């Protein structure tokens, strides 16, 4: 047992029991207590180390305890912490300027605290067009607040909370003609993910986003791209839609932007940028300078260290390695950059997840038959290779157990 375990005052089982005693059960019981992280590695309450290929669900873009983020947060909180939206903080303005520079066009930014809130702001922008109808994709995930949930194309998540706000149609993801049929001059917005992360890293056919842009432009409908999981370098570009040269009216961000701190951002362009007026929307913590300082450190580090190119190379190494395994449990590898889905032969993802954890690797069984991989963007070649060795063993153990059970 390491010093990390001694410092917690509790092992894994004890900390888990404490969670169960005080926390609401909306998450169930998480599978592992973690107490320390450094780079791409984390440790549990008993000192066991794991290679982290979950990355806080694509949040920890620079890994854990990155010096640039630690320094930025420490310096900012020591000089100016929270000021509310009644006052201006320089890091907030600078981050908004930086995001618009990365987008390559003028616009306006609204900061929030999460991806769901970023999409909630987009929902309100849609309402302010004077139209009510909205369109999103079956299987899409846009958050759990009421407006974002209405746009989420997953009935099981929606059902307990109906009726939901808005007149929302859900169409098959990747089906251009279904999208064309659903969008009318009465449609306020179309919200799509460049890749559907929570649905198992589903990739649309080439040209889908370009078609969505053409369809929405023809009806004066806002195109909203939910880049919460795909943005800020996760696919090897600042925004995944840049791969197709698509410019949306609204882009939503969160997850990797804060490098582990909670932040959401809604970027609006053209006429959409002028729809939120004083009093129309807000948040006490909007643009908190400490969190904005962290986000600026993330952007600076990605740019300075050429991490976008690294993501492309590391993602290809990971994808190629998974395919080279030639394992009978692996049916397909899909995704982009360092957001990959390993599609399995059968609903065995939870068992593979556990077998990998037993070997010191954390992965995410995002659907019953898909393992999602979203390691920190700084993952090294050696760590990719280490992961592949452990993952092969986890697959083989799972296959052996499945065959024995059969």
Q: Is the CB of residue 393 less than 8 Å from the CB of residue 363?
A: no
As a whole number of angstroms, the distance between CA 199 and CA 369 comes to: 11
User: 141: annotated binding-site residue?
Assistant: yes
Residue 317, number of CB atoms within 10 A of its CB:
15
Maximum Cα–Cα distance across the chain:
65
Model pLDDT for residues 128-154, shown as the tens digit of each residue: 999 999 999 999 999 999 999 999 999
Under the banding of pLDDT at 50, 70 and 90, the label for residue 402 is: confident
**Domains assigned to the chain:** 12-65+306-405 (3.90.1150.10), 80-305 (3.40.640.10)
pLDDT value at position 403? 86
| Percent of the chain at pLDDT exceeding 70 | 98
Under the banding of pLDDT at 50, 70 and 90, the label for residue 40 is: very high
pLDDT value at position 159? 96
pLDDT value at position 5? 47
Model pLDDT for residues 324-337, shown as the tens digit of each residue: 999 999 999 999 99
DSSP, collapsed to helix, strand or coil, labels residue 278 as coil
As a whole number of angstroms, the distance between CA 210 and CA 330 comes to: 31
Average pLDDT, the chain: 96
| Percent of the chain at pLDDT exceeding 90 | 96
- Does 119 have pLDDT greater than 60? yes
User: 115: annotated binding-site residue?
Assistant: yes
DSSP, collapsed to helix, strand or coil, labels residue 250 as strand
Q: What is the mean pLDDT of residues 373-391?
A: 98
User: 283: annotated binding-site residue?
Assistant: yes
Q: What is the mean pLDDT of residues 11-27?
A: 95
Q: Is the CB of residue 233 less than 8 Å from the CB of residue 256?
A: yes
Model pLDDT for residues 244-255, shown as the tens digit of each residue: 999 999 999 999
CB crowding 343-374: b at 16 or more within 10 Å, else e? bbeeebbebbbbbbbebebbbbbbbebbbbbb
As a whole number of angstroms, the distance between CA 197 and CA 336 comes to: 11
As a whole number of angstroms, the distance between CA 155 and CA 140 comes to: 10
User: 4: annotated binding-site residue?
Assistant: no
User: 284: annotated binding-site residue?
Assistant: yes
Residue 207, number of CB atoms within 10 A of its CB:
12
Contacts of 369 (CB under 8 A, 6+ apart): 200, 343, 344, 345, 346, 347, 348, 349
Q: Is the CB of residue 197 less than 8 Å from the CB of residue 229?
A: yes
Cα dist from 353 to 25, 32, 325, 334, 366, whole Å? 21, 12, 17, 18, 10
pLDDT value at position 1? 38
pLDDT value at position 10? 66
Catalytic positions, written as ranges = 141, 226, 255
Report the side by side order of strands in the sheet with 49-52: 34-38, 41-44, 49-52, 361-362
As a whole number of angstroms, the distance between CA 40 and CA 52 comes to: 5
Exposed / middle / buried, residue 30 (Cβ in 10 Å: 0-12, 13-18, 19+): exposed
Contacts of 169 (CB under 8 A, 6+ apart): 133, 134, 135, 136, 182
């Amino acid at each position: 047992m390491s010093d990390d375990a001694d410092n917690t005052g509790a092992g894994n089982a004890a900390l888990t029991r404490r969670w169960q005693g005080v926390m609401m059960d909306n998450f169930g019981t998480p599978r592992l207590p973690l107490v320390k992280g450094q780079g791409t590695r984390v440790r549990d309450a008993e000192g066991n180390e794991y290679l982290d290929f979950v990355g806080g669900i694509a949040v920890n873009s620079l890994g854990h305890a990155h010096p640039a983020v630690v320094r930025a947060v420490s310096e900012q909180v020591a000089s100016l912490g929270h000021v509310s939206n009644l006052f201006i903080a320089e890091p907030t303005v600078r981050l908004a300027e930086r995001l618009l520079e990365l987008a390559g066009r003028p616009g306006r930014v609204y900061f929030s605290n999460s991806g769901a809130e970023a999409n909630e702001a987009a929902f309100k922008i849609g309402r302010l067009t004077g139209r009510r109808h909205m369109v999103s994709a079956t299987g899409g995930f846009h958050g759990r607040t009421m407006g974002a949930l209405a746009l989420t194309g997953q009935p099981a998540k929606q059902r307990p909370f109906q009726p939901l706000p808005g007149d929302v149609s859900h169409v098959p993801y990747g089906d251009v003609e279904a999208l064309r049929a659903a969008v009318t001059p009465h449609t306020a917005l179309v919200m799509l993910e460049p890749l559907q992360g929570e649905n198992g890293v589903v990739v649309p056919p080439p040209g889908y986003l370009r078609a969505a842009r053409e369809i929405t432009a023809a009806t004066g409908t806002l195109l909203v791209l939910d880049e919460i999981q795909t943005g800020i370098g996760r696919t090897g570009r600042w925004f995944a839609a840049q791969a197709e040269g698509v410019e949306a009216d609204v882009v939503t961000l969160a997850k990797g932007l804060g490098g582990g701190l909670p932040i959401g951002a809604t970027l609006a362009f053209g006429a959409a940028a002028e729809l939120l007026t004083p009093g129309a929307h807000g948040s006490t913590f909007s643009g908190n300078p400490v969190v904005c300082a962290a986000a600026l450190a993330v952007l600076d580090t990605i740019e300075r260290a050429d991490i976008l190119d690294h993501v492309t190379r590391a993602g290809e190494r990971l994808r190629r390695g998974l395919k080279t395994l030639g394992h009978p449990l692996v049916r397909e590898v899909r995704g982009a950059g360092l957001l990959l889905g390993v599609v399995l032969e059968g609903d065995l993802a939870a068992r593979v997840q556990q077998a990998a954890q037993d070997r010191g690797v954390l992965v995410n069984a995002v659907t019953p038959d898909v393992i999602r991989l979203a390691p920190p963007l700084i993952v090294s070649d050696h760590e990719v290779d280490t992961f592949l060795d452990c993952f092969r063993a986890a697959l083989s153990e799972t296959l052996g157990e499945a065959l024995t059970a059969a």
